[in-house]
Amino acid sequence: MEQKFNEGKFRELILYIAGRSVNDQHFGAVKLNKILYFSDFNAYRELGSSITGADYQHLNEGPAPREFLRIKDSLIEQEEANIEHRIVFSMTQQRLIAMRPAKDVFTPDERRIIDEVIETLWDMTARQASRLSHEDYGWRLTEPGESIPYSSAFFSPEPLTQEQLRYGQRFAEEHGLRA
């Protein structure tokens, strides 16, 4: 199922994450991209559709939405966000600062998923969040520059249990899917 990009929700998701992450010492552009990715893909897996429909591409530091730079620049131009540069270890962190609260455009389930992702990644550095995204099958199955399909949210490195295999066989038989 193809996802339609919702630019308004994407803008608000960026602002919501930035607002919630104001006290996260590790929050910068790389970590923001990982929170966006996991929020959209977890929503797709749990709810049947992503939050924003953004097109995520395989980059060396992990998945990132193709629309991110354009929307970030627009948020800054419209004075809805700003970039703060911080020295963290020997690197310069580009921290997006929300200049206004995000509009309430998310369903309760979407907000729960976003908050869970933020909480899961909270203590991680950008490098750790990137490593975690590299374990994701969508990233592993694509090449640099390729789009990561939302359907990859259902892929798992864990082998199927006997119960899952039996269920699949019954399902295939009931729906005439066995060869």
Domain that holds residue 11: 7-174
Tell me if 96 is assigned to some domain: yes
Q: According to the model, what pLDDT value does residue 178 have?
A: 64
Q: Which residues of the chain have pLDDT under 50?
A: none
Tell me if 65 is assigned to some domain: yes
Residue 65, beta-bridge partner list: 56
Q: How many CB atoms lie within 10 A of CB 94?
A: 14
φ/ψ of residue 87, rounded to 5? -85, 120
Q: According to the model, what pLDDT value does residue 90 have?
A: 75
Q: How buried is 135 (Cβ within 10 angstroms: 0-12 exposed, 13-18 middle, 19+ buried)? A: exposed
Question: Pick from 109, 132, 140, 121: which is nearest to 17 by CA?
Answer: 121
What is the pTM assigned to this prediction? Answer: 0.87
Tell me if 2 is assigned to some domain: no
Q: Which residue shows structure tokens 């729906």?
A: 175
Q: According to the model, what pLDDT value does residue 2 have?
A: 62
Tell me if 1 is assigned to some domain: no
Q: Which residue shows structure tokens 């006290």?
A: 23
Tell me if 179 is assigned to some domain: no
Tell me if 130 is assigned to some domain: yes
Tell me if 121 is assigned to some domain: yes
Tell me if 76 is assigned to some domain: yes
Total number of domains constituting the chain = 1
Length of the chain: 179
| Parallel, antiparallel or unpaired: strands 81-88 and 91-98 | antiparallel
pLDDT tens for each residue of 74-102: 999 999 999 998 887 777 888 999 999 99
Query: Can you state the percent helix, strand and coil of the chain, rounding each to 5?
Result: 50, 15, 35
